[in-house]
Copies of this chain bind each other. A is one copy, B any other.
Amino acid sequence: MSVFLQFIALLSIILVSAKLAGYLSRSIGQPSVLGELLVGLLLGPSLLDIFHLGFIQDSHTVYELVKEIAELGVLFLMFLAGLELHLKDLARNTKVSAYAGILGVLLPVLLGWLTGILFGIESSHALFFGLILGATSVSISAQTLIELNVLRSRVGLGLLGSAVFDDILVILLLSIFLAVLTGGGSAFAVLWVVVKMLLYMGIFAAIGLWVLPAISRWTSKRPISQGLITLAIVVALIYGLAAELIGGMAAITGTFLAGLMFSRTPEKKEIERGIQTIAYSFFVPLFFVSIGLTINIRELESEALFFIAIVSIVAILSKLLGAGLGAKLANFSWKESLQLGIGMVSRGEVGLIVAKIGVDNGFINTDVFSGVVGMVLITTLVTPPLLRSAFAEKKEKKNSLDNQTGTD
């Protein structure tokens, strides 16, 4: 069998499993992403080991193909997260976003650092581990919010804003961390990191504000088959690329910014429909499944399971307390602060991507990486039921029809 045939055979298996698992997950009231992560674990070396089935002769090449395509999925996901945000709503919630976002990062980073040191990890690497715990997932939070139908509420918008703040802060800290370790750690190096980020943000926000709308309008009026969708894909890719090359940031920050920029154009709806089709039918399920594929549960020893349990508890409590306290400081009620804190608990792709960077650079080992994935699964698992009970009162007042809407 040629590489291509092995590749499409695996694509078929992964896509069908992901969609069925996502459907089952939703049937029992969980977000579909949970099912997709779990099915990745089942398909991976833990159980079925699909990259080493009998008919796979070129497992390395095929794995590489699936991995790179899955990474495109992350970019599309963050592009959609940006596209679906409303800048005006965010501006109205700056205070709570800043407070909950900042405290919701600092407390997990601090407690994660201490936890790492307690587990015998060297101090600077333990700090990196703390950083991983800081990253909330915009997409998983938003998904849960949509399913609960409270995305446009005070808490919902505050949560979205905090998650954005959270992402940017984590990526800022990540960039500084990398620069300090690789650039010698001088004050100048840190300054340079910040200058590069501001430079990137300035240039690409300006392009997005003044150039992109014209290109977008021009393209939408030309007889180019799916021209607008190709434009959105290319702009997302270029923003992502430039975020890495110019800004020294993660590519996801760039595609997120690209989505934010397109959200202001009249072509937003058409782009959203097209990219949703491409992302959710093909690329995104591959990404969620691919995470499970990198983990071998059978190799986890009881020590590792203990580690996952502790990390999960630290992750849940630190985020809940940090973000909740931030919300309270921004004059939210205790109940609202609790709701927002819970909403920030679920971790996802950003944490996983930061963890991946850590493995690639030798800051964390594969055991710690498995611990992070376990933590992501557990925080994702507990967030929807916790949010549901925290919003229980509110939901009863709403029309039951409303609760049926929303995408995943």
Residues on A lying within 8 angstroms of B by beta carbon are 1, 3-5, 7-9, 11-12, 15-16, 19, 22-23, 26, 32, 61, 64-65, 68-69, 71-72, 75, 222-227, 229-231, 233-234, 237-238, 240-241, 244-245, 251, 274, 276-278, 280-282, 285, 407-408
Q: Judge whether A23 and B222 touch: CB under 8 Å.
A: yes
27 residue pairs of the A-B complex, CB under 8 angstroms, read: A3-B68, A4-B251, A5-B245, A7-B68, A8-B75, A8-B237, A8-B251, A9-B241, A12-B237, A12-B241, A15-B233, A16-B234, A19-B227, A19-B231, A22-B225, A23-B224, A64-B64, A65-B65, A69-B69, A225-B280, A226-B280, A230-B281, A233-B281, A274-B281, A277-B278, A278-B278, A278-B282
Kindly provide the distance from the CB of A302 to the nearest chain B CB, expressed in whole angstroms. Answer: 36
Chain B residue numbers with a CB within 8 Å of A8 are 72, 75, 237, 240-241, 251
7 A-B pairs with the lowest CB-CB distances in the bound complex, closest first: A229-B281, A226-B281, A226-B280, A225-B280, A8-B237, A230-B281, A12-B237
Given A5-B244, A11-B237, A68-B3, the answer on whether A408 and B223 have CB atoms closer than 8 Å is yes
**Bound form: Cα–Cα A65–B71 in Å:** 13
Q: Judge whether A23 and B241 touch: CB under 8 Å.
A: no
CB-nearest residue of chain B relative to A405?
B223
Kindly provide the distance from the CB of A163 to the nearest chain B CB, expressed in whole angstroms. Answer: 20
Q: Judge whether A225 and B5 touch: CB under 8 Å.
A: no
- Copies of this subunit: 2
Most buried by B among A19, A32, A61, A240: A19
Task: Known A-B contacts: A1-B245, A4-B251. Give 18 more (CB < 8 A).
Answer: A5-B241, A8-B72, A9-B237, A12-B237, A15-B230, A16-B230, A22-B225, A61-B64, A64-B64, A65-B68, A225-B408, A226-B276, A229-B277, A230-B282, A233-B281, A274-B281, A277-B277, A278-B282
**Bound form: Cα–Cα A124–B21 in Å:** 51
Q: Judge whether B285 and A230 touch: CB under 8 Å.
A: yes
Chain B residue numbers with a CB within 8 Å of A71 are 4
Kindly provide the distance from the CB of A388 to the nearest chain B CB, expressed in whole angstroms. Answer: 17
Chain B residue numbers with a CB within 8 Å of A19 are 224, 227, 230-231
Q: Contact check: which of B5, B26, B277, B281 meets A223 at CB < 8 Å?
A: B26
**Bound form: Cα–Cα A13–B278 in Å:** 19
Kindly provide the distance from the CB of A86 to the nearest chain B CB, expressed in whole angstroms. Answer: 21
Most buried by B among A32, A278, A285: A278
